[in-house]
Structure 1
Amino acid sequence: MQKVLTIIGARPQFIKASVVSRAIQQTDGVEETILHTGQHFDQNMSEVFFDQLGIPKPDVQLDIHGGNHGEMTGRMLIEIERALLENKPDRVLVYGDTNSTLAGALAAAKLHIPVAHVEAGLRSFNMQMPEEINRILTDQISDLLFCPTDIAVDNLIKEGFAHKSAKVFQVGDVMQDAAILFSKKATVPTNFSLPDGFVLATLHRAENTDSPTRLASIVNALNYIHSEIAPVVLPLHPRTRKLIAEQQITLDVHLVEPVGYLEMLWLLDHAGLVLTDSGGVQKEAFFFHKACVTMRDQTEWVELVESGANELVGADADMILQAAHKNYGRTVADDSQIYGGGLAAGKLVGQIIKASTVAI
């Protein structure tokens, strides 16, 4: 029996783990322990995901959130190492690019426990993003690298992984597995009454929220779109809400509290356009055939830009408005199945089993 310890801590990781944990439960020879770092501690951003997605309750629950990146990562490293020594897993499984990801991979590597990284090989080529640092370092200390796209594989090859002992696999994107699995359970957010065709927006990326100029520019664009194109629905992250208030920026859109994953799927399905600075939402819009305008200077999901499904506009208000006018109501197709069509979780669990057999 192979013992896998899965480390999660943020909303996108809960979603990814929901389908991978399901695949593990359906596979003989694997036993999973789940560790939740507590990085996302808000009720609607953490516990509700476990309830909605059927993820087993964490076996290890830390309470580490807040503070600077170094402080948070260091505290996680201490507590995760303690959990690894107690649970003695054969492998650690990490997701994405958060502080939880890096802390989990580093703690395991220091103890010589093999690490599998789901969503490996993604690059924005912007070292100002803490996520870019996390994903690069995590890839370097992982022995199983599960890439969601061919471009992610190419990134790793360019970084020399063809000559390293780590194994690189293109398995597809587990986020598409989740969207397909849970789309039938999508639910309307509480007290939501807008007709279809609203503009769905998300705004939380530090490069935008920590810059008063960028934040004000984006909010001004959202306000205009809300009054001139279609109602803007914005599930607002608590941190972003606080920063907008502190900077006394006027925000005049349809605000809702952070929503669970099933409510987010409903919003995506009924929106006329998606505006985001998130990584995952760019793909989720694509899964629901919605055009996406990304308010960032770079994206890891370059295949969406190349296919015309996604448009990068940075934080420039004029560019956001032009892209919103051009893309509102437009649908996009997924003819080439660039994210694997919903088979990623089974493939990666199969490779984990195979790796354990080879190791023995």
Structure 2
Amino acid sequence: MSSDPKTVQAARLLLAQLGVTPNDLMRIPVDLPTFAAYVPTVIAASGPGAVRTYGTYWTRIVETFGDRRLDEPAPSEIEALMRRLVATRTIRRNDCGGHSVAEHLVAAMRAVYNRAINDNLVPPNYNPADKVPKPRRRPTARRALGPAEVTALADAITGGGHDAPLDTLLFRLHLETACRRGGALALRENDIEPTTCLIRLREKNNTVRWQPASPTLVRSLLDHRRHRGNDKPTPEPLLRHRDGDPINRRRYDRLWQRVGRQLDWVTARNVSTHWLRHTTLTWVDRHYGPSIAHGYAGHTHPRGDDVTAVYTKPTIADLATALAAYTREPHPLATTPPPDGGLPAFPILNPVGS
């Protein structure tokens, strides 16, 4: 029996709208892997940032759907898992109603199906997690700190703890350069260029850039390398404890827990290292404009933005000039001397070897 041409044409139009070909309809294999078998492949192919963000959620996905094939869970089942994780989440002081839990679970599930599509295990556009609405991200509560708040942090950080020199070095590193925590942890002993006072930052999305640093900070980093490292440029981690072991993220957790015990507002507002980034970039934006702040932050050029910005992005000299004004300290690459201004009582670094 022949098919109605109008029905065939309508089916072709529908498949075209879905981005599916007739061959795709036959592509789901009988031996499609289960979640327990396939999620380890997803984890192995993901970067460390993704594993850190979604690892817990991939574990929950395997616990829930482990023995089922990738094509079996329905969107309603994925949404039910999302709501269960939100309801049973651990309530922390920075809890926002479970929005991040819901967002990360949906993103983790979508990542599994996107990887399966790339591996030709399921047809293109076959992603039931796409049908589960992701909660709209709330505006961040972080903001720039005022001069009095920065001074209070400097006093608390430099005046206590079992390793105040290291904590002070971290504080000024982030406050000067606006680098992310991951950028500081990725610093190597060969990432310091003392002649021109630059440090090499490796941050998110595998970006690498040279960031101006004040002569004071550069000297302190070199002193730190001399007292706690190899005293020469090597590819080994730069920032270390007194015993020579490289620091990790827990160092920051302990730092802010200690400061929070001294300053109630730090705990109440969940102040963290990223607040220092907000502080610096806000100052640069207000005094030198969004273009300089964009470069100071190390942000990549977004698609769809003003194409002219590709040709007018700030130079290292522009960033060094802003840094000199911010720290009120001359920089060898700055085009103008630092004017009066900057942050009052910009933290003075203690000797690292003390």
TM-score normalised per structure 1? 0.30
Pair member with larger Rg? 2
TM-score normalised per structure 2? 0.30
**Counting strand residues as a fraction of each chain, which structure ranks higher?**
1
